[in-house]
Chain A
Amino acid sequence: MTAPEQLRAAFVRIAATRMAGLPLNNPALSVATVGFVPWSEVQVGVLIAPWAINLAVVSDHPNALRLGVDERQTWRFPSGEYELMGGNEPECGPFQFCSLFSPAFEFADQATAEATAVAIMQGLLAKADDDGREAARMVGTSTLQAPVSRRGFLRGVFGAQKA
């Protein structure tokens, strides 16, 4: 079994045990792993479960993903940085995940949830074209007025935006 399949197996079991019968499950959804792609040494994709949809990172060498209780690891994807938390289940070993929807009641059916998961992966891997201009526009300042650090000020660097 590949790593995403192992993750899926783990969550199928969780759905049937720890989550069984809880009113937080969306009955229209079932466990699925969508859009996993290789990312350096690991694979990243979306895990759909009836109670939540998460970004998930798995690996064929899962020990590399081991995190302590409440530790988080920051991953940089083209669209930005995301903080993932560690999980560990017998079927798949250590994995990491980041909450996107929980509970997941807004999905009417599995097809919509999976379409959303595909869109999430496209968005995740699309390069963000954010150079601070949008943020500056919202605040109403010029990008030339980017915050000046004390050090920059003393050295005559006034935080001009790279063109």
Chain B
Amino acid sequence: MTETFYDVLRRQGISRRSFLKFCSLTATSLGLDSSYAAEIAKAMETKPRTPVIWLEGLECTCCSESFIRSAHPLTKDVVLSMMSLDYHVTLMAAAGHQAEKQLEEIKKKYKGNYILAVEGNPPLNEDGMFCIEGGRPFVEILKETAADAKAVIAWGACASYGCVQAAKPNPTRATPIDKVISGKPIVKVPGCPPIAEVMTGVVTYMLTFDRIPELDRQGRPKMFYGQRIHDKCYRRPHFDAGQFVEQWDDENARKGYCLYKMGCKGPTTYNACSTVRWNDGVSFPIQSGHGCIGCSEEGFWDKGSFYDRVTDIKQFGVESNADKVGGTAAAVAGAAVAVHAAASALKKAKKSDNDKVTGGN
């Protein structure tokens, strides 16, 4: 089987022009410069198609729902044609014994060569009896399928951290997949659900470059989870000016002030919501007037109310990324460091060519 992505796309009637457009869109969404578009195109034309098996354990299917709503229709076609052909219980046509047989076949045929994407997690109490698929505990299927996978993607807060089913007292002992799978590279893509473009971006990166993206210490792709919601929040200037919504629906709420005092978790949450946004880039929670609930952070269900103020802000600043939290967030001291800090802060503040929209002055 040496069919390439490009072959599959052409068979589905996608023109070369659309294909190249997809490649440059993908490069952009991955934060790569445009010269990578050619590299992506080359990879897709020459590399054999990598099958993806998508397993669902204890979950709500919101990751799948998010995934199939990826903004660009072509992205959707491309990525879904890479995946739905293989195994995804919600999306594929087969069901019952036929579906299970297909799973077995893919595992055998592409042994050591497929990517395993996991939505949800396995409950371990009572020997895994709280989640049975095809008559067997999900944890068994997960372990078996992971054993022959090339790499594993943990979709969403469930697979990455446990999410609501693992919240205290966690009666079924729902367990993040990295505690069950060993010896395989695991990419965590947390969020409840993760952003569609982030999901397709991660998959496309892995399929085209045949390696996992650069991860932070918590196993998340740096390209999407490298900054806090607060860092790129359009309401951040209100924070800087000490302007806060003091209670719901007050005058300040109508003016769009900072939601920190109403429990916004933006200062401690690493995700791309404030830049990529949701629903084809239309909006994100803060833009619609509600604070961030921190759904891409570990154990967010056990961190108190969504409306409690964040108080455990670690000693780090805008330059930091998740790697430095709890580690060695060195405070800036001394003249040389001050000059460096100043230069990088100014560079970040400077308007880039991309966002020159209005004139003024």
Contact = CB atoms under 8 A, between A and B. Distances in A.
A18 B349 CA distance: 25
A101 B342 CA distance: 9
Contacts of A104: 317
Contacts of A99: 236-237, 240, 349
B242 A51 contact: yes
Contacts of B312: 23
Interface residues of A, number: 55
B335 interface: yes
Contacts of A119: 338-339, 341-343
Contact of B237 (A85, A122, A124): A85
B298 to A, nearest CB: 20
Contacts of B348: 100
A112 interface: yes
A105 B325 CA distance: 12
A23 B311 contact: yes
B317 A103 contact: yes
A49 interface: yes
B240 A120 contact: no
A139 interface: yes
B313 A73 contact: no
Interface size class of B (residues with CB under 8 A): 35 or more
A154 interface: no
Contacts, number: 146
A115 interface: yes
Interface stretch (B62-70, B72-80, B351-359): B351-359
A74 B358 contact: yes
A138 B36 CA distance: 12
Interface in B314-361: 314-320, 329-335, 337-339, 341-343, 345-346, 348-351, 355-356, 358-361
A141 B237 CA distance: 37
Contacts of A18: 242-244
Given A19-B242, A87-B241, A124 B358 contact: no
Nearest to B257: A69
A124 B240 contact: no
Contacts of B315: 105-106
Nearest to B353: A135
A80 interface: yes
